[in-house]
Amino acid sequence: MVPRADARKNKFASRYSGDLLSGLCELVKDSDLIGCSLMSNQFPQAIQVTEYLRSHGMRIPIVWGGVQPTVEPDECIKHADAICLGEGEEALVDLLNRMKSGLPYYDTLNMWFNTPEGVVRNRLRPLITDLDRVPPPDFSCSGHFLAVNNRLVELTAQRFREFQGERFRGDGGSVPYMLMTSRGCPSSCTYCANAVYKALYPGERLLRWRGESKIVEELKAFQRTVAPISYVYVVDDNFTARPKQKLQAFCELYAKEIGIPFYAQVSPLTINEAKMEILFKSGCSHITMGVETANSRMAAMYNRTKEHARLRSALDLVEKYRHAMDLPPTYQFIIDNPYETLDEILETLRLAVSFPQPWHHPIYSLMLFPGTPLYQRALEHGIIKDKHAQIYTRDWRSQSLPFFQFWIELYHRNVPAFILKLLLTPRVAKFLCGHAATAIWRTKPFRRFSQNSLLAGAVAPNLADFLQTVFFS
């Protein structure tokens, strides 16, 4: 169990309060093992929690797992007693069984240990081939705690329904549900954790699907024990990566047994007319597609040349189904790559304004997450100087050039396209990115305006708010 910080404050730089941490200390004091799950942007908080527990006399082993220990193990093992790389289900059970039986455990696969003789680094066990062997999430609520107003309170079905989480808020009667029906992605973009996972598991099949009946069972069990589901967010990296027959089998069963509108993420490489028909016949009501860049040199740098070649036809296909969606489709863009020229950025932004309004499309500032090929390149080129500021606590919506921050805010306010396009003409944009104009953008009123979306609320009672909070908050 990991307590949450208040998402309404600057969440990437936020720290847990003393009250919350002392409550945590009290809660875990009789445990045999303390586990902590973290992404890269939770690294500072994980250090804070671990150091707090230690400095308050906690001698229980603390093990970290998740994306961050997987992509940056050498950094993480400096702070935890042990870390888990890659998939954790089998590793954690193995470790606990050995500890329980009093057996030596420093050779547990996937785990690294800090020992009196130094760090023991064990190899990885193979990926789980049959995801149906993984038990469904534990929604019993029993023994689960939640941070509410700096206090840890026991989770109940009622609290679940009202959960004021970082991303979601139930309406008190039903809840939005995040579902994973697969693991992995066929692509290997150079800024994405999947590229690191592919390197960690050479020759293994990263992309795996759960059986459709298990997924339906999970949804039904949740509805039975916790709350009715208002909307299903399929958070798979690439929902349409499954072959057409598999997609059809899942969607048909889902429509018959569950029938709740759902959202899914797709890629230009994995959609076609037949798959779109299947999706929209089975209750899919919204899709997101990663466009990332309109520029072919950037696409090559991102290892997305194949996606780029299919981009135009994929966009036409998604646009064809716009009428079938509850909200217009969402396209994701990335700019602010340190290797990108102004003209290349402008090309991408011009594509972003080419779609019908309203524009819900997030335009991210490229994050150089540890371990990825693009991160390694930037590290070698001396671009990463301060990991704390540039990675762990950085907001992926904060563009390094204030003009783009300002432009994106105008874009999200659906300012008429001709104004946005005018600002993107090379001469105008060059001037607006120059020193003189930058000084103006940095003045208080402009800064406040540009940062508006950065400070937006962070709880999501419905689909529109969910998209707003997932992509912009």
| Structure token digits, residue 276 | 């779109």
Q: How far is the CB of 470 from ligand SF4 (least distance, A)?
A: 15
Residue number, 113 or 441, with CB nearest to ligand B12: 113
Q: Please say whether the beta carbons of 12 and 41 come within 8 A.
A: yes
Q: Does 235 bind ligand B12 (CB under 6 A)?
A: yes
Residue 82's nearest CA partner among 52, 55, 115 is 115
Gap between the Cα atoms of 268 and 436, Å rounded: 40
Residue 267 lies near ligand SF4 (rule: CB under 6 A): yes
Q: In one letter, which amino acid is 258?
A: I
**x-or-dash string of contact with ligand SF4, 280-299, rule CB under 6 A:** ----------x---------
Rounded CA gap, 18 and 258, in Å? 43
| CB nearer ligand B12, residue 206 or residue 433 | 206
In eight-state DSSP terms, residue 86 is S
**Closest of 94, 193, 82, 93 to residue 135, by C-alpha:** 93
CA atoms within 13 A on the CB side of 331: 26
Radius of gyration, alpha carbons of the chain: 23
Q: Which two tokens mark 421?
A: 């396009």
Which of these segments, 137-145, 186-194, 213-221, 368-376, binds ligand SF4 (CB under 6 A)? 186-194
Residue 187 site contact among ligand SF4, ligand B12, none (CB < 5 to 8 Å, cut-off depends on kind):
ligand SF4
Q: Candidates 37-45, 145-153, 218-226, 408-416 — which segment interacts with ligand B12 by CB under 6 A?
A: 37-45
Cα torsion 394, 399, 401, 406: sign: negative
Which of residues 45, 68, 238, 267 is near ligand B12 by CB under 6 A?
68
Which has the closest alpha carbon to 339: 375, 309, 290, 310? 375
DSSP string computed for 92-116: HHHHHHHHHTT---TT-TTEEEEET
Contact status, residue 231 vs residue 175, Cβ threshold 8 Å: no
Q: Least CB distance from residue 128 to ligand B12, whole Å?
A: 8
Binding-site residue total for ligand B12 (CB under 6 A)? 30
CB of 289: closest distance to ligand SF4 in angstroms? Answer: 10
Of 87-95, 208-216, 217-225, 289-297, the segment contacting ligand B12 by CB under 6 A is 87-95
- What beta strand segments (E) does 106-228 contain? 111-115, 118-121, 145-148, 151-154, 175-179, 182-183, 208-209
Q: Among 145, 231, 369, 403, which residue interacts with ligand B12 (rule: CB under 6 A)?
A: 369
Q: Does 180 bind ligand B12 (CB under 6 A)?
A: yes
**Residue 334 CB partners (closer than 8 Å, separation 6+):** 191, 292, 293, 302, 348, 363, 364, 365, 366
194 binds ligand SF4 per the rule CB under 6 A? yes
Q: Which does 40 bind (CB under 5 to 8 A by kind): ligand SF4, ligand B12, none?
A: ligand B12
Stretch of 36-44, 49-57, 181-189, 360-368 contacting ligand SF4, by CB under 6 A: 181-189
Comparison of 81 and 237: residue with beta carbon closer to ligand SF4: 237
Binding mask 39-58 for ligand B12 (x = CB under 6 A): xxx-----------------
Is 20 near ligand B12 (CB under 6 A)?
A: no
Q: Is 188 in the site for ligand SF4 (CB under 6 A)?
A: yes
Which residue, 176 or 290, has its beta carbon nearer to ligand SF4?
A: 290
**Helix locations, 353-455, DSSP H:** 373-380, 387, 402-412, 417-423, 426-433, 435-441, 444-450
CA distance 307 to 310: 5
CA distance 170 to 89: 29
Residues within window 187-226 making contact with ligand B12, judged by CB under 6 A: 192-194
To ligand B12, the closest distance from the beta carbon of 235 in angstroms equals: 4
237 touches ligand B12 by CB under 6 A: yes
For residue 6, state whether it binds ligand B12 (rule: CB under 6 A).
Answer: no
Q: Site residues (CB under 6 A) for ligand SF4? A: 185, 187-189, 192, 194, 237-238, 267, 290
Q: Site residues (CB under 6 A) for ligand B12? A: 35-37, 39-41, 63, 65-68, 70-71, 84, 87-89, 92, 166-167, 178, 180, 192-194, 235, 237, 369, 396, 470
